[in-house]
Structure 1
Amino acid sequence: MPNKEMLLIPGPTPVVDEIYDALTHETYAHTDPRFVKIFKNSLEMTKKLFNTDGEVFVIAGSGTLAMEIAIINTIAPGEKLLVISHGYFGDRFVPLAKSFGIQVETIQAEWGQHVRKELVEEKLAEGGFKAVTVTHVDTSTGVMANLDQLVPVVKKSGALFILDGVCAAAAVEEDMQKAYGDPAYTMDVVLTGSQKAIGVPPGLAIVAFGPRALAAREAMPAVTGYYSDIKNWLPIMNDPGKYYATPPVNMIYAFNKGMEIVMSEGLGKRYQRHAALGRAVRAGLSVYGMKPLAPEETAAPTLSCILYPEGVIDAEFRARLAQKGMVIAGALASLSGKAFRIGHMGNATEKMFVKALELVGETLKEMGHEADIEKAVAEFTKIYHSV
């Protein structure tokens, strides 16, 4: 199925033909040995993606469900959670946790900036926090958290480290056995969805639990959920031929193919490609006077929040691009109308962004602004091949 548009929002991301083909495969029974084999294969690749020595869960649902699963299976009602937020999606942990009776405190960064490590140390020194959530890449701001700084601080306090990897997994390293300065300083939960850097259509919640997170669930007599209780899913993840709730058979086909593409490229090469693409896209757009909200030292490889030059009308700009077959996203909250968000992850290609820069330049000219398209493309190409 050929893509009729360039979908360059922060997710869903472009889907390639091989994944569409897998999605349209004949639906097998969910206990059919042929399907079970595919499901097992996708789970094995998911474990490799996160390099976990714990368990992974691939369940019908969205990234929001993955957030819920991570929270309710590690933190009991009345216990304390610290949310480290770099934007709108970090903030979403707050109402989610409160709805389950969890006590929540928050440290919020200025949009575009990192939370200062010292603030985290001071807050954790108060004691009593069962877990800390960090959004690896916040989809609202394009800021990537500094795990090298945050993981040791959190783990030293004794809290569990929960990483929201929705807009990072399969594009940025999320190694759950990586030690951040001490053998015990490793991440405990990583969660994501299928529709971002993995490059599969929306529909799957994906969560990896390390040994300490699994032990936390084991110590809880019950959780405030049924579908979200990992104890109900553990037997199925260990043997997908068993039944608990009907799995999304065709989505598993697509996910399996998407993960095969990820693994075929190689994780190291894939991370390098995303780093190069993010820098190059921002460099190309800067030629047009479009500046990223996040400076390069905090900017993510997967998406960018781009501030408009003076005089560019957001709704008109995005509408004109959409008419040309290029779809980008508006900004959120206080940045609404002042910026746009562009995704550059998953199956997105160099060729796609050369075309995107040309369309952006053409649109700016149509709206009465100057735009050196040749220079923008040249800058993009130079940076992409030099990173």
Structure 2
Amino acid sequence: MPERVRQAMAQVMVNHRGPECRTAIGETEEMIRPILGTTNHILFFASSGTGVMEAALVNTVGPGSRILVIEHGQFGERFTAIAKAMNITVDTVATAWGQAIDVAAVEARLREHSYRAVVVVHNESSTGIVADLAALGALVRDRPTLLIADSVSGLGGIEMRQDEWGVDIVVSASQKALMCPPGLALASVSAKAWRVIEQDEGRSVFYWDFRRALKSVEQNETAFTAPVSLIYGLRQSLTMMHEEGFSNVLARHKQLSGALRAGGTALGLADFCNDGPRSSTVVVFKVPDVLEGGAIVRHLYQHHRTVIAGARNRLSGRVIRFGTMGVLSAGTILTDLLHLEDTLTNFGLPIEPGSGPKAAAEHLAAKK
């Protein structure tokens, strides 16, 4: 998270219904639209990403409706769990973790049943695979079926063209590539999705009501108490993205994640992804059979104060994950690889000194 964002959040607290906050909400909405690739109104909620995942379903899926969830990692499975908790009928298309989504399999299921929505995770941070939203959007464009996408870990670091690709609802949150603390979530809703929402098939919703949120955002407010400091922070992070140029932001994320992958390969770590497209905001490495992922995570923190992630799912102990989002630079990646090299050497892996940073530097030089 940038220092500028921290400073923006430290401003004097203002009335969440006052003119200062309304100005901040209006400017934030205006700046995030091109990041989403949309002309839609943007709905803001005091929430984590999981909250707006649930909101996307509670606003669109009525009693007796059926949805198709694409599961290609932990957060696709979370969407299924949310839907089942809401007593929604759920079918799934399961993809092996680390492989690209089989769009043909999704199309085949759409021919078998009439679904209210196809639900997918844009950037599956548990595996490092990105969904082909353009291909999925093409499948539902001429169907009544909606396309709902979770881009919590993608938005701001991976391209999103909501309107062009036909994504009906995009949900995201502040704490990933948008470079803010957690607690602010958002939803962008297409005209097609609004027509479904306005049918009101007896859905029970209050806090998450998109209709209520839309009426408020048209007045540059939120329906309920806004997380004022987070809105100030997001306005500042979006200002920074526009100053850099959003195409440059995307290119930087892609370049740095590629450099980390190149360095990890040189250190003997295989990319967990067997297929593309690969994420620009998270890099997932397989852990060598002689090691355990949690031990690598702990060593990096205890000896270098470098914080990375393992896995809290079926991949526990088998992968390590590096976030490559936000205000990272080439120096960040090279430092990470120095620390990783030290850690792997400490556990007895035979590594040529400096090989990881060297491979990353060569990748960065080749891309200039």
What one-letter code is carried by the residue in structure 1 that aligns with 2:323? G
The residue number in structure 2 matching 1:3 is none
What one-letter code is carried by the residue in structure 2 that aligns with 1:297? G
The residue number in structure 2 matching 1:384 is 364
Distance 1:21 1:222 in 2: 45
How far does residue 155 in structure 1 lie from its aligned partner after superposition? 2.6
- For the 8 Å contact 1:78–1:101, the answer to whether it is kept is no
- For the 8 Å contact 1:86–1:108, the answer to whether it is kept is yes
Distance 1:37 1:332 in 2: 40
The residue number in structure 2 matching 1:20 is 6
Distance 1:188 1:366 in 2: 49
For residue 249 of structure 2, the aligned residue among 266, 270, 277 is 270
- For the 8 Å contact 1:114–1:143, the answer to whether it is kept is yes
How far does residue 136 in structure 1 lie from its aligned partner after superposition? 0.8
Tell me, yes or no, if structure 1 residue 315 matches structure 2 residue 301: no
Paired residue secondary structure (1:177)? helix
What percent of counterpart residues are identical? 29
Structure 1 segments unaligned to the other structure (5+ residues)? 1-14, 180-185
Tell me, yes or no, if structure 1 residue 45 matches structure 2 residue 31: yes
Paired residue secondary structure (2:283)? strand
Distance 2:353 2:76 in 1: 36
Aligned length: 366
The residue number in structure 2 matching 1:147 is 133
- For the 8 Å contact 2:100–2:131, the answer to whether it is kept is yes
The residue number in structure 1 matching 2:310 is 330
Larger RCO (CA under 8 A, 6+ residues apart): 1
Paired residue secondary structure (1:92)? helix
Distance 2:317 2:6 in 1: 34
Paired residue secondary structure (2:91)? strand
Paired residue secondary structure (1:134)? strand
Distance 1:314 1:161 in 2: 35
The residue number in structure 2 matching 1:357 is 337
1:189-268 to 2 correspondence within 5 Å?
189-241=169-221, 244-268=223-247
Distance 2:223 2:142 in 1: 38
1:41-80 to 2 correspondence within 5 Å?
41-80=27-66
Paired residue secondary structure (1:192)? strand
Taking structure 2 as the reference length, the TM-score comes to 0.95
Name the Cα RMSD after superposition: 1.6
What one-letter code is carried by the residue in structure 2 that aligns with 1:43? E
The residue number in structure 2 matching 1:34 is 20
Distance 2:134 2:223 in 1: 38
For residue 370 of structure 1, the aligned residue among 337, 350, 354 is 350
Paired residue secondary structure (1:207)? strand
Distance 1:331 1:172 in 2: 22
Structure 2 segments unaligned to the other structure (5+ residues)? none
What one-letter code is carried by the residue in structure 2 that aligns with 1:299? R
For residue 283 of structure 1, the aligned residue among 262, 277, 283 is 262
Distance 1:296 1:279 in 2: 14
- For the 8 Å contact 1:97–1:104, the answer to whether it is kept is yes
Taking structure 1 as the reference length, the TM-score comes to 0.90
Distance 1:101 1:77 in 2: 8
Distance 1:79 1:261 in 2: 42
